[in-house]
Structure formats: C-alpha cells, structure tokens
C-alpha cells in the first residue's frame, strides 16, 4: 500500500518568503476509478448582451457555430415564452476549434474565431462566450 509524503520548500519571491507545500503520492496503488455522469454537456455557452447597457438580450438571437464542414445553428425564438436571460448552448460533447457568429434583429452581428473546446475525462470542458451586440 502506497503512502503520501508532504515535502516543504521555501522560495524567496520579490523579497518575501512564500511557503510552497508539495505533496507526492507513490507506491503501487491503482488509480482511483472515475464516475462519469450520463449528462450531455454543452461545449460552448453563449451569453448574449447589449454592448451599451450590459443587459441580456437573447430573445430572437441566433448563433451559428462552425468548425470546418461542421455547422450548428442555435436559436432563442422570440415569443411569450422567450427569456432574454437564456443562454445559448452549442456543440454538446464535441471538442474542437470553432467560429461563432451571433445575430439579432436591430443589432450588428457579433463574431469570434478560434474558440477552443477541449475534451475532459468524462465530458467536454465548457467554454463561455460573452456575445456583446451593438445596436444598429
């Protein structure tokens, strides 16, 4: 059965002393099993806001997310059930590098490239994008 060892080292940092504690575990123990959930996670979450006020404005917003030949469109249709605070989710459990264009009537399009979603142990590592739209 392996044990853990705590090692203390002192480093001088900009004239002050900081204590750095490093722990190292060794031995022949098996790695801990990972319990993954059955949920499906968005790779990208898009928060749509007005650039001037900072208020959420996702009703009637549309996001187009692309990577090479892959393309996905996400809408928050306007209507009685629409909430401006809704966050647009895209590329569920899909790692990659994406370009995003967000549009909404009465606003200039927002575009961003090179949004990188990485794979985690169980799910993708979600990236949040702030789409700040400017009124026309």
Specify the pLDDT at position 28: 62
Q: What is the rounded distance in angstroms from the CA atom of residue 50 to the CA atom of residue 47? A: 10
End-to-end CA distance of the chain: 67
Contacts of 102 (CB under 8 A, 6+ apart): 46, 48, 61, 62, 63, 88, 109, 110, 111, 131, 133
pLDDT in tens, 15-46: 333 333 334 455 567 778 889 999 999 999 99
pLDDT in tens, 41-71: 999 999 999 999 999 999 999 999 999 999 9
Q: Which domains does the chain have, with CATH numbers?
A: 42-133 (2.60.40.1120)
Q: What is the rounded distance in angstroms from the CA atom of residue 7 to the CA atom of residue 21? A: 6
The model's confidence at residue 133, banded by pLDDT at 50, 70 and 90, is very high
Question: What pTM value is reported for the model?
Answer: 0.75
The closest of 80, 74, 57, 29 to 132, measured between CA atoms, is 57
């Amino acid at each position: 059965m392996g044990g853990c060892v705590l090692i203390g080292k002192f480093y001088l940092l900009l004239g002050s002393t900081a204590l750095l504690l490093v722990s190292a575990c060794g031995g022949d123990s098996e790695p801990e099993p990972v319990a993954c959930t059955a949920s499906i996670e968005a790779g990208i979450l898009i928060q749509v806001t007005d650039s001037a006020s900072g208020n959420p404005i996702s009703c009637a917003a549309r996001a187009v997310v692309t990577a090479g030949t892959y393309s996905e469109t996400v809408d928050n249709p306007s209507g009685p059930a629409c909430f401006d605070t809704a966050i647009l989710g895209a590329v569920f459990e899909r790692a990659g590098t994406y370009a995003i264009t967000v549009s909404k009537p009465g606003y200039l399009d927002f575009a961003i490239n090179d949004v990188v979603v990485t794979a985690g142990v169980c799910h993708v590592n979600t990236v949040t994008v702030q789409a700040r739209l400017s009124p026309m």
